[in-house]
């Protein structure tokens, strides 16, 4: 994604074009635990009732050399039945993005909304796959509105500053 930056700089010279590009997507950390197996499969406990699911999502970023940023989408899923853990998944789905020539406010919005939205489908597939390979019914994470989460975080940050 390229877009023209401001027409001219303060000295009247043309400015560079803003650039945004996905460089790489990868899993930087993945953990799956099913501490109650094989008992829950043998006694049918895993299939008897719908598990209670606790889902936590956050994202972070770090600057890299050459106008690149590393964005990490952290997702944890904890499934329980009757206070007994069925499984836990922790995933860090990571992407490297080129972000050049954007004003800081737009850059922060890209890092907080567009980048996590780009990573989320990959994270959803990885989590669904590992849960299925763990012997449990496949779980499909519902879409996340990262724009709303970013707006909420900015509002909380502004209220803490005042």
Task: Say which CATH number the domain at 87 has.
Answer: 3.10.420.10
pLDDT over 90 percentage in the chain: 68
Q: What does pLDDT average to over the chain?
A: 89
Give the whole-angstrom CA distance, residue 18 versus residue 25: 21
Output the pLDDT for position 13.
47
Per-residue confidence band for 6, with pLDDT thresholds at 50, 70 and 90: very low
Output the pLDDT for position 7.
45
Output the pLDDT for position 15.
59
Contact yes or no for 36/47 (Cβ under 8 A): no
- When divided into structural domains, the chain yields a total of 1
Is residue 148 assigned to a domain?
A: no
Is residue 119 assigned to a domain?
A: yes
DSSP codes of every residue in 38-76: THHHHSSHHHHSPPEEEEEEEEEEEEETTTEEEEEEEEE
Higher pLDDT, 13 or 54: 54
Mean pLDDT, to the nearest integer, of 46-63?
89
Mean pLDDT, to the nearest integer, of 130-156?
92
Is residue 85 assigned to a domain?
A: yes
Does the predicted model carry a pTM greater than 0.75?
Answer: yes
Q: Residue 46's domain spans which residues?
A: 17-142
């Amino acid at each position: 994604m390229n877009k023209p930056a401001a027409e001219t700089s303060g000295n009247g010279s043309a400015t560079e074009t803003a650039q945004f590009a996905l460089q790489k997507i990868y899993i930087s950390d993945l953990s799956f635990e099913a501490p109650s197996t094989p008992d829950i499969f043998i006694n049918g406990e895993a299939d008897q009732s719908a598990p209670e699911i606790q889902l936590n999502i956050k994202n972070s970023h770090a600057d890299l050399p050459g106008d690149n940023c590393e964005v990490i989408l952290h997702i944890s899923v904890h499934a329980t039945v009757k206070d007994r853990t069925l499984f836990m998944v922790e995933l860090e789905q990571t992407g490297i993005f080129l972000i050049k020539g954007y004003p800081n406010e737009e850059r922060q919005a890209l890092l907080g909304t567009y980048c996590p939205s780009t990573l989320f489908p990959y994270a959803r597939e990885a989590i669904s796959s590992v849960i299925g390979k763990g012997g449990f019914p496949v779980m499909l994470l519902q879409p996340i509105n990262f724009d709303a989460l970013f707006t909420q975080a900015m509002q909380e940050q502004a209220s803490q500053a005042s």
